[in-house]
Amino acid sequence: MSSEILKLTAEIVISHASMSELTSEQLVEEIKELYNVLSSLEGGVILIEPVEAQAEPGIAKQPPIPLKDIVKAKYVVCLECGKKLKTLKKHLLKAHGLAPKEYYQRFGLDPKKFPLVCKNYSEARSKLAKERGLGTLAGRRKGATSA
pLDDT for 36-75, tens place per residue?
877 777 665 545 544 444 445 556 777 777 788 889 999 9
The alpha helices in 20-75, defined as continuous H runs, are: 24-42
> Which residue ranges of the chain lie beneath pLDDT 50?
46, 49-55, 146-147
Question: Cα–Cα–Cα angle for 37, 96, 112, nearest 5°?
Answer: 125
50 phi and psi angles, rounded to 5 deg: -65, 145
Domain locations in the chain as residue ranges: 1-55, 64-134
**Residues facing 105 on adjacent strands:** none
How far apart CA 80 and CA 85 sit, in angstroms, is 13
Q: What is the pLDDT of residue 139?
A: 56
Cβ–Cβ < 8 Å for 87, 117: yes
Q: Domain 64-134, what fold?
A: Arc Repressor Mutant, subunit A (1.10.10)
pLDDT at residue 81, rounded to an integer = 86
